[in-house]
Each structure stands twice: as C-alpha cells, then as structure tokens.
Amino acid sequence: CPRTTRRGRPSPRPLCPKFLHTNSTSHTWPFSAIAELIDNAYDPDVNASHFWIDKTVIQGHDCLILRDNGNGLTHESMHKMLSFGYSDKTTLKGKEPIGIYGNGFKSGSMRLGSDAIVFSKSRNARCVGLLSQTYLEKIKAEQIIVPIVCFEGGNNNNHILYMLDQ
Ligand SMILES: Nc1ncnc2c1ncn2[C@@H]1O[C@H](COP(=O)(O)OP(=O)(O)OP(=O)(O)O)[C@@H](O)[C@H]1O
Ligand SMILES: [Mg+2]
C-alpha cells in the first residue's frame, strides 16, 4: 500500500489483517467476547428479546452459532458492523446503548474464532458479510477487506445490489 499520494500528502494507512488478532487479545477470556455479542443484540438499535448460542461442526471445524431475533442489518449497517470505529447508537425509548466504540463485534468475534460470517434478515434486506482471517491470509491481503453481498427489496423481488470490498 502506498504511504503517500502522488502530491506527497500522507494517504490513510489501511488496517493490516494482523490487527484482527491483535485487537481480539483485549479479551482475556472467551466470555467477555460473548458478552460483546450479547450487548449488541440487547442494544436499542437491535432490540432483540432472544439470543441463542449453539455449537456445531462444519467440515470438521468447531463452530459457534450466535443468533438474535433483533432488527437485523441493512447493507450500510453491515458495512459499519464489519468496520472499525463506526458507532452511532442513541438512546431509544429510554433504553441507553451499551456500545459506544464501534469495536466490540470485531474484538469479540475474532477472540472466539478466526472467521466470522454474518447472516442477516431484516425488513428490507438480506445480507451476508465475511470477516475472515483465513480468507485474508489465503489471498495474501495487505489490508482488511470485508466481502458483503446484500439483497434488498421485498420478499418476492430480491436482487443483488452490492458485492463490495471495504
Ligand atoms: N446483532 C446485531 N444485529 C444488528 N446490528 C448489529 C449487531 N451487532 C452489531 N451490530 C451493528 O454493528 C455495529 C458495530 O458493532 P460493535 O459491537 O463493533 O460496536 P458498538 O456496539 O457500536 O460499540 P462497542 O465497541 O462499544 O461495542 C453496531 O453499532 C451495530 O450497528
Ligand atoms: Mg458492541
């Protein structure tokens, strides 16, 4: 990645994939990582009333499946969820948000596993997003990229709107 633009101005340094692991080490034990994901489901923007945790094995790999029945995501909020530092939660109906930093999902999910795939179904969109250290290593990525596929529209009229890198 170039450090400066052609005119010599400093260009933003993208986040190195190794940062995903580094950032996750703030969780000294896995339960604080799970707490981050429960907090997100409980926060007023999502407002879930149930949270399920299951364990399964997929192609020989132990996997945790964490699921809530909250409001889900749009393409934009999926992008924010997989990015760092975006948090615009506000108090809703007197319920104050727990999340403020825009980091808990990334640190928590990457503490629990090397890879996270997020499936979301909301009123107007179905989205899949990938935050995966294995994928980034395989493609020898120099910066964190998060593939997202999002279908927006009514139940009978879905079409692909986005397939983006961060
Ligand atoms: N279960 C979920 N359902 C819908 N949206 C979610 C869910 N979990 C996270 N998000 C969205 O992803 C964003 C990022 O979550 P993340 O936990 O990384 O940051 P935060 O909760 O805003 O702040 P903090 O770092 O203090 O936890 C949230 O602001 C929220 O918009
Ligand atoms: Mg959070």
Interval 121-130: pLDDT, tens: 998 899 999 9
From residue 93, give the alpha-carbon distance in Å to each of 133, 153, 164. 38, 28, 34
- Considering every ligand atom, which ligand is closest to the CA of 79? 1
Residues in the ligand 1 pocket, defined by CB under 6 Å: 36, 40-41, 45-46, 68, 70, 72-73, 77, 80-81, 87, 89, 99-106
Asked if pLDDT for residue 44 goes beyond 50, the answer is: yes
Q: Which of 99, 97, 107, 81 is nearest to 20 (CA)?
A: 107
Predicted TM-score (pTM) of this structure: 0.89
Average pLDDT over residues 150-155: 76
Ligand 1 mean position to 161 CA, how many Å? Answer: 23
DSSP letters of the chain? --SB-TTSPBPPPPPPTHHHHHHHTT-SSHHHHHHHHHHHHHSTTT--S-EEEEEEEETTEEEEEEEE-S----HHHHHHHTSSS------BTTB--S--SS-HHHHHHHHH-SEEEEEEE-SSEEEEEEEEHHHHHHTT-SS----EEEEES-TT--EEEEEE--
Can you read off the two tokens belonging to residue 29?
A: 């034990």
Query: Which residue is associated with the tokens 């170039």?
Result: 2
Asked if pLDDT for residue 166 goes beyond 50, the answer is: no
**138: Cβ contacts below 8 Å, ≥ 6 apart:** none
User: What pLDDT is attached to residue 71?
Assistant: 94
Measured by CA distance, the residue closest to atom 28 of ligand 1 is 81
- Phi, psi dihedrals of residue 31, rounded to the nearest 5°: -70, -30
Ligand 1 mean position to 57 CA, how many Å? Answer: 26
From residue 152, give the alpha-carbon distance in Å to each of 74, 77, 125. 8, 13, 4
C-alpha span between 16 and 19 (Å, rounded): 6
Ligand 2 mean position to 156 CA, how many Å? Answer: 33
C-alpha span between 9 and 6 (Å, rounded): 7
For ligand 2, a single-atom ion, the residues with CB < 5 A are 40, 99, 104
Average pLDDT over residues 14-23: 96
